[in-house]
Chain A
Amino acid sequence: MSQVVTAGHGVVDTYETPLTPESWGKLGMWIFLAGDAMSFGALLAMYGALRFGAVDWPNPAEALGIGLTAFMTFLLICSSVTMVKSLAAMQDGDQAGCVKFLALTVAGGIIFLGLQAYEWTHLINHGMLLAENAFIIDSTGAVVGHWHEGMTLAEGQMRASGLFGTTFYMTTGFHGFHVFSGVVYLSYVLVKAMRGGYSAEDTNGIEIAGLYWHFVDLVWILVFTFVYLV
């Protein structure tokens, strides 16, 4: 055993293979995102499977605020643009520009979270809870009223499925938590950039954080489409 230790330093030189990445950190982030994509994929598949077999599913266009959420989508797209512009700025050696765009990205994320919180509060106040729903719908899913305790329903009307709220809050909540984590992560990157922790030759940290943020935006694009529009 001691022969192995004394035979040399025990260091293996790394060499280029077609699979060797330029940045191990980037590879690691991509692998993490692949797993995270599976998590979101499972949530969206669950949403589809539950909705597809349900007769008491409300029409999302009437039950949810599409206008506000469309603006939130626009906001996240803008924050993705500022994120990529901050990386481009640092790659061009412009630290001030990088910091500015990173700050705008963080601000976009915080505003998104605020709007999400507002939307949730609004829906909870209207009786859309995690396991029960106060919307009254007809057979086509159109929202026709609000259910109160002791109310009798007309022919062809029913109380909307509690699963609507469950799937909605679970999916948007899981995504919102990712946005929150992204805001914390990007705040760290922002402070490090302000202190000169990155340079035109070393933008790896910013790029990796950017990958996470773009992923969050990408997932929202899919969530917005499937949960709000379809």
Chain B
Amino acid sequence: MAGGATHQHPNYMLIFWWLLGLTVLEVAVPMVITAQVPKVALLVSMAVAKAVLVALYFMHLKFEKKLLGIIALTPMIICAFLLFMLMPDSSWRWIG
């Protein structure tokens, strides 16, 4: 993959094939694996891999200054906090 020079582009088509392959695999997983935990783990990891590919290569994060990477990563960490903090609440349900 090329560096930050504008005349050397990363191999975008290669990234496309990776994204396409991961999408096909993602659609196949719920049909093949029914056990909830491995299914969710596989799907989430594949989705994150696709998101990282788009962010690093299409959004050029790999070739930018570190600051942009920090700005992009921070909401992910905060969202993870949000998810874990909401988990105890999901045991409360409206009855009636």
Contacts and interface: CB of A to CB of B under 8 A. Distances in A.
B45 to A, nearest CB: 10
B79 A74 contact: no
Interface residues of B, number: 49
Contact of A73 (B6, B13, B23, B31): B23
Interface string A186-230: 000000000000000001000100110011011001101110011
A70 B27 contact: yes
Interface string B36-56: 000110011011001100110
A48 B83 contact: yes
A77 B30 contact: no
A127 to B, nearest CB: 22
Most B CB contacts (10 A, CB to CB) among A92, A207, A225 go to: A225
Contacts of A184: none
Interface stretch (A35-43, A144-152, A175-183): A35-43
B89 A49 contact: yes
Interface stretch (A50-58, A108-116, A164-172): A50-58
A226 B43 CA distance: 8
A229 B54 contact: no
Contact of A88 (B12, B54, B82): B12
A85 B65 CA distance: 22
The secondary structure that dominates the A interface is helix
Interface string B16-40: 1001100100110111000000011
B76 to A, nearest CB: 7
B30 to A, nearest CB: 5
A80 interface: yes
Contacts of A19: 67
Contacts of B50: 221
Nearest to B89: A49
Most B CB contacts (10 A, CB to CB) among A21, A22, A80, A92 go to: A80
20 contacts: A18-B65, A30-B71, A34-B74, A41-B79, A44-B79, A49-B87, A52-B90, A53-B91, A70-B23, A78-B16, A81-B15, A84-B58, A85-B12, A88-B9, A91-B7, A214-B59, A225-B44, A229-B29, A229-B30, A230-B44
Interface of B: 6-7, 9, 12-13, 15-16, 19-20, 23, 26-27, 29-31, 39-40, 43-44, 46-47, 50-51, 54-55, 57-60, 65-68, 71-72, 74-76, 78-79, 82-83, 86-87, 89-93
Interface of A: 18-19, 21-22, 26-27, 30-31, 33-35, 37-38, 41-42, 44-46, 48-50, 52-54, 61, 66, 70, 73-74, 77-78, 80-81, 83-85, 88, 91-92, 203, 207, 210-211, 214-215, 217-218, 221-222, 224-226, 229-230
